[in-house]
């Protein structure tokens, strides 16, 4: 179950907790961790409006990608420092289907992720990505509280 682990992260506090658990599990013969961030395409839907305010040369998507890459390399280093072999992946789309797609194409043996993400709509509520992935994934899913 712990051979090849998919770790999707939105860099939220909840997904940082999943990273802490991965670090604690680093001595459990994990072969590889695939750290995935999905650039949520729904967030860019609004950038089209910005043109009407005539802000030229503003590359929002490029700026987000830059900061995602920076965060990714900091978190990757934390995992590597714990002795884990890490593959990083940044894709674009809707998080839930993308996570399932990467899980299948990398033939992962399990998925570890946060119970919630950034929304924190209600402390007790399970995030929709966490809920859908755990319902549809072909492998075991660890949701970190
Ligand atoms: N864009 C993403 N890329 C990779 N992993 C993600 C992404 N969004 C969420 N996740 C993973 O899913 C976990 C749960 O997040 P989820 O999106 O379900 O909760 P939420 O953001 O609080 O709620 P919602 O998105 O339904 O409003 C996160 O801790 C993270 O591990
Ligand atoms: Mg979310």
pLDDT in tens, 90-102: 999 999 999 999 9
Q: Is the pLDDT of residue 52 over 90?
A: no
Cβ of 127 closer than 6 Å to ligand 1, yes or no, is yes
- How distant is the alpha carbon of residue 32 from its chain centre? 16
pLDDT at 50: 62
More confident residue, 53 or 91: 91
Find, among 3, 11, 142, the residue nearest to 75 by Cα: 11
What is the pLDDT at residue 140?
Answer: 98
Ligand 1: residue whose CA is nearest its atom 8: 10
The percentage of residues in the chain with a pLDDT greater than 90, rounded to a whole number, is 77
Binning pLDDT at 50, 70 and 90, where does residue 31 land?
very high
User: Looking at residue 43, what DSSP letter applies?
Assistant: G
- Tell me the whole-structure pTM to 2 decimals: 0.93
CATH of the domain at 44: 3.40.50.620
Q: How confident is the model at residue 2 (pLDDT cuts 50, 70, 90)?
A: confident
15 lines ligand 1 (CB under 6 A): yes
Please report the pLDDT score of residue 60 as a whole number: 80
Supply the residue whose CA is at minimum distance from atom 9 of ligand 1. Answer: 10
Q: How many domains does the chain have?
A: 1
3-state secondary structure of 93: strand
Give the number of whichever ligand sits closest to the CA of residue 145: 1
The rounded distance, in Å, linking the Cα atoms of 58 and 51 is 9
pLDDT tens-digit series, residues 103-131: 999 999 999 999 999 987 776 789 999 99
State the pLDDT at residue 53.
54
Domain that holds residue 23: 4-144
Average pLDDT over residues 44-49: 68
Helix, strand, or coil (residue 36): strand
- Residue 95 CB–ligand 1 contact under 6 Å: yes
Ligand number with the minimum distance to the CA of 98: 1
Average of per-residue pLDDT across 80-86: 98
């Amino acid at each position: 179950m712990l051979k090849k682990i998919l770790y999707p992260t939105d860099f939220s506090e909840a997904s940082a907790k999943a990273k802490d658990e991965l670090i604690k599990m680093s001595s459990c013969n994990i072969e590889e961790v695939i750290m995935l961030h999905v650039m949520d395409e729904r967030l860019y839907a609004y950038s089209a409006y910005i043109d009407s305010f005539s802000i030229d040369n503003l590359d929002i998507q490029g700026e987000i990608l830059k900061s995602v890459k920076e965060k990714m390399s900091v978190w990757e280093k934390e995992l590597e420092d714990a002795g884990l072999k890490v593959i990083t992946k940044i894709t674009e789309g809707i998080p839930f289907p993308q996570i399932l797609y990467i899980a299948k194409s990398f033939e992962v043996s399990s998925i570890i992720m946060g119970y919630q993400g950034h929304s924190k709509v209600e402390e007790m509520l399970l995030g929709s990505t966490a809920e859908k992935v755990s319902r549809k994934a072909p492998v075991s899913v660890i949701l970190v509280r």
